[in-house]
Structure 1
Amino acid sequence: VQNTLMVRITQTSSTILIAMLLNSLVGIVLFVSILWFKQGMAGFGELVSSVRWWTLIPGLLGSFFVFASISGYQNVGAATTIAVLVASQLIGGLMLDIFRSHGVPLRALFGPICGAILLVVGAWLVARRSF
C-alpha cells in the first residue's frame, strides 16, 4: 500500500524526490513526537550525542531501498519489485550469516542455501511473467 501511494504522489509531482521527502518528513515528525513524549529533552540530548558518521549509513541505505521500491513499482510492477527486493535481502543476509558463522559445517548450510536458490528462482519466475 505504501509504495502504491508513493507512486501516485510521484505521478502527480515533478520528481520522485517529492514522494521520498514526504515519506521522510512524516517519519521524522512521528518519531520526534514519540521521543519527546517518552523521554523529553533528555532524548534529544542522547540523539545528538549518538551521531557518528557511520550511524547515518542505515538512513542512506533505507532511502535507497525506498527509492528502489518506488522506481520498481513504476517500471516493473509490485510483484516483481517485491520478489527482487526480498530475494536480494535474503541473499545479503545469508551471506552475512555465513561470514559470521566460523566453523559451521558445510552440511548445515545446505538448507539455507537451497532456500535462497529457490527464492531467487521464484523471483525470476515472477519477474519474467507476462500479462
Structure 2
Amino acid sequence: MENNNQIWLYPLIIVAGALQAWGPPMNGALQKSLSNPWLASVVSFLPVLALLTCVFLCLPRPLPSGEGVMTMPWWAPLGGLIGSVAVIVGLMFVQKVGAGTLAGLTITANIIMSLFIDKYGMFGIQQHPLSLGRMAGGALMVAGIYLISKF
C-alpha cells in the first residue's frame, strides 16, 4: 500500500469485487426468465444507464475539454463494450458451470491478461515487470480454478 491516505479505497474495492460475484447469477436468472440472452443483456444494462445518467445530470462537472476529446485514444470508449462480453458470457453460462467456476475462470483470465498489460504498459498504464512472484501468483490462480472447477 503505497499511500496510507488512500487505504480506505481497499475495502471499497473488496466490496465491489464481492458484489461482482452477484452479477452473473442475477443475470442468469434474468436470462432464464426472459429466454432471450440478448434481451436479457439489454435489460441488465438499462438500470446502469439510468443510474449513470442520473449521476451525470446531478454532477455534470467537470466537462471534457475539446483537447481531451481530440487526443483520446480510439480504443478508450470501448471499455464498456469489452465489459459487456463478460456480462453476456456470465448470463449465458453461469447456470451451466456454476458461479464459482465462472467467477474463477473470468478472474483468473483477468489476472493473467493483467500481468501482460502491466508488463508491456498497454493502454497507457505504467509498466510493471513480470517477476517470478507475479508469475507464481498467476500459476496459483490457474491451479486454484482447476480445483474449484474439478471439485
Same fold (TM over 0.5): yes
| Pairing of 1:84-103 with structure 2 (within 5 A) | 84-100=105-121, 101=127
Preserved CA contact (<8 Å) 2:105 2:145: yes
Structure 2 distance, partners of 1:99, 1:38, is 35
Instruction: Provide the identity percentage.
Output: 22
Moved segments of 4+, more than 6 Å: none
Higher helix residue share = 1
1:31: which partner in 2? 52
Instruction: Give the SS at the match of 1:12.
Output: helix
Question: CA-to-partner distance for each residue in 1:55-96, whole Å, 9 max, x for gaps?
Answer: 332121011011122223122110000000010000000111
| Pairing of 1:1-131 with structure 2 (within 5 A) | 1-39=22-60, 43=63, 46=64, 50=69, 53-100=74-121, 101=127, 104=129, 109-129=131-151
What code does the residue aligned with 2:33 have? T
Preserved CA contact (<8 Å) 2:30 2:40: yes
Unpaired stretches in structure 2, ≥5 consecutive residues:
1-21, 122-126
TM-score by length of 1: 0.79
Instruction: Give the SS at the match of 1:39.
Output: coil
Structure 2 distance, partners of 1:3, 1:50, is 33
What code does the residue aligned with 1:110 have? L
TM-score by length of 2: 0.70
Structure 2 distance, partners of 1:2, 1:80, is 14
What code does the residue aligned with 1:22 have? V
> Cα RMSD over matched residues?
2.6
Number of aligned residue pairs: give it: 122
